[in-house]
Structure 1
């Protein structure tokens, strides 16, 4: 399915007392990657929400392999791995851009809902987005 890559620079505030990236920042970068992936196919989150589609996180997993540190340039790869009637799953890899070292892998599973958080079928709610993902 669809894949997108973007770069993120580790700032000092992203690190902990040990000088490595604080673990929850990787989840934040998953979201940044997901946002950029959606933007790259012409559906930024703001547009989805205007059209009545919400993507709340239902599940999340992150596996830490190597730490990132201050000033690292990170490459975040996000890919849609599964689209079902009312859920979508994305996989992520975060690598140190300079060396290609794999630092983190993970995934998020999202419910596809309306503004009331009631499940909706993407195919029925937004056929154009559904088709882009399937054709991607």
Structure 2
């Protein structure tokens, strides 16, 4: 299983009145993690979009364990939890600088045609990605 690591420095604008990271910002950080994972495997999400394919979120599970605060650096671990050639499920763990688990999450995605939003078979359209995902998954 390949685990990608990315770091995010918590910016003031990402915090709420309580001084902690606003919950929706973790979703943006998960996207950073997915993008890094795809890059680690040798591919580009932007390149896929240029071919008219997008990969929307179809399901999301997230559990907030410990708040992150302005000035801290979050470490985002991302991996392929499940993959079947059509649907990809990514796993995430976001850690505080002290190594405490702040967030645990999963997001499920399918690839669709950008114009029609009809599903496409990932393994057929992107056979190299398919092979890389098969090798990298949990």
- The bucket for the TM-score relative to the shorter chain is over 0.9
Give the superposition deviation at 1:51.
2.9
- State the partner residue of 2:81: 81
- State the partner residue of 1:58: 58
Counterpart-to-counterpart distance in 1, 2:60 and 2:135:
25
CA contact (8 A) 1:2 1:133 kept: no
- State the partner residue of 2:11: 11
Aligned residues: 135
1:113 corresponds to 2:112: yes
**CA RMSD, Structure 1 to Structure 2 (Å):** 1.1
SS across alignment from 2:47: helix
Q: Which runs of 4 or more aligned residues in structure 1 lie more than 4 Å from their structure 2 counterparts after TM superposition?
A: none
Where does the alignment leave 5 or more consecutive residues of structure 1 unmatched? Answer: none
Counterpart-to-counterpart distance in 1, 2:93 and 2:33:
10
CA contact (8 A) 1:36 1:44 kept: no
SS across alignment from 1:76: strand
CA contact (8 A) 2:85 2:130 kept: no
Counterpart-to-counterpart distance in 1, 2:106 and 2:98:
23
- State the partner residue of 1:93: 93
- Greater shift, 109-118 or 120-129, is seen at 109-118
Q: Deviations over 1:27-46 (max 9, x none)?
A: 11011111111112121211
CA contact (8 A) 2:90 2:108 kept: yes
Where does the alignment leave 5 or more consecutive residues of structure 2 unmatched? Answer: none
1:27 corresponds to 2:27: yes
SS across alignment from 1:131: helix
CA contact (8 A) 1:86 1:113 kept: no
Counterpart-to-counterpart distance in 1, 2:94 and 2:30:
9
